[in-house]
């Protein structure tokens, strides 16, 4: 019988602005190109917070991060008072070729992930990509085809506009009995706009769906 293995891993996110910067680097170079990036653990999620392009020599077949360029980048990073442990993202492109992990890529991952973890990204100008999460301590582990979630940047102006529209158009439905006989919190009367519930701060719909604020 084939055994099933389930992995419970943190989500991997990248803000839309950082994603666009990464894609712009890849689209701007017809041959292979690569660089580093920062990863932070935020609320239990791994978040790619920035990406950087390093000096390098490339061609249509390969891109090798120059150890001296990497060392110089990390040294300058530390001198600026930044935490070098955040440099946990390695990205590179395959130009207009397909995506996959070469022997050179595996060697680079082993070097950059030494003693810790590394998020690796390989993409091309067609928009194809592969992501891998590699660990080297305390065990050697790699998770391929790791999902990368692009977090859209809504912006305060659009957020406020939508909040006002919801306050005008969304009204509270009448319910005959609340779950678990909990006391009814102060809410607008049936048919009144939800503007009072859409003020700043807190879970604006807490209690709206019953216990926990979830349907």
CA dihedral over 194, 200, 205, 206, signed as positive or negative: negative
For residue 182, name the pLDDT band (cuts at 50, 70, 90): low
| Mean pLDDT, rounded, for 178-196 | 58
For residue 212, name the pLDDT band (cuts at 50, 70, 90): very low
**pLDDT computed for residue 76 by the predictor:** 94
141-169 pLDDT, tens digit each: 899 999 999 999 999 999 999 999 999 99
Domain residue extents for the chain: 12-151, 156-213
43-95 pLDDT, tens digit each: 999 999 999 999 887 766 666 677 888 899 999 999 999 999 999 999 999 98
Helix %, strand %, coil % for the chain, to 5? 30, 25, 45
CATH number of 12-151: 3.40.140.10
- The angle at the Cα of 150, spanning 59 to 20, to the nearest 5 degrees, equals 45
**pLDDT computed for residue 138 by the predictor:** 83
Q: What is the mean pLDDT of the chain?
A: 83
**pLDDT computed for residue 211 by the predictor:** 39
More confident residue, 164 or 211: 164
More confident residue, 193 or 71: 71
More confident residue, 59 or 207: 59
Residue owning tokens 């120059």: 66
Q: In this model, does residue 178 exceed pLDDT 60? A: no
Residue owning tokens 């932070």: 40
Residues 6+ apart with CB under 8 A from 141: 134, 135
Q: In this model, does residue 120 exceed pLDDT 50? A: yes
């Amino acid at each position: 019988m084939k055994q099933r293995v389930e992995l419970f891993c943190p989500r991997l996110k990248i803000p839309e602005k950082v994603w666009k910067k990464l894609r712009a680097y890849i689209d701007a170079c017809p041959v292979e190109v690569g660089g580093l990036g920062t990863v932070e653990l935020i609320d239990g999620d791994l978040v790619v917070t920035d990406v950087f392009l390093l000096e390098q020599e490339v061609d249509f077949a390969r891109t090798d991060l120059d150890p001296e360029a990497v060392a110089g980048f990390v040294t300058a990073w530390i001198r600026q008072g930044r935490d070098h442990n955040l440099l946990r993202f390695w990205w590179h492109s395959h130009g207009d070729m397909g995506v996959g992990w070469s022997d050179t890529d595996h060697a680079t991952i082993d070097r950059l992930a030494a003693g810790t973890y590394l998020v690796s990204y390989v993409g091309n100008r067609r928009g194809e990509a592969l992501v891998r999460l590699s660990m080297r301590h305390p065990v050697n582990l790699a998770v391929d085809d790791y999902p990368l979630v692009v977090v859209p940047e809504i912006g305060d102006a659009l957020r406020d506009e939508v909040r006002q529209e919801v306050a005008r158009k969304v009204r509270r439905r009448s319910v005959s009995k609340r779950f678990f006989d909990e006391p009814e919190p102060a809410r607008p009367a049936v048919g009144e706009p939800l503007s009072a519930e859409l003020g700043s701060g807190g879970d604006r719909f807490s209690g709206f769906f019953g216990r926990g604020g979830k349907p």
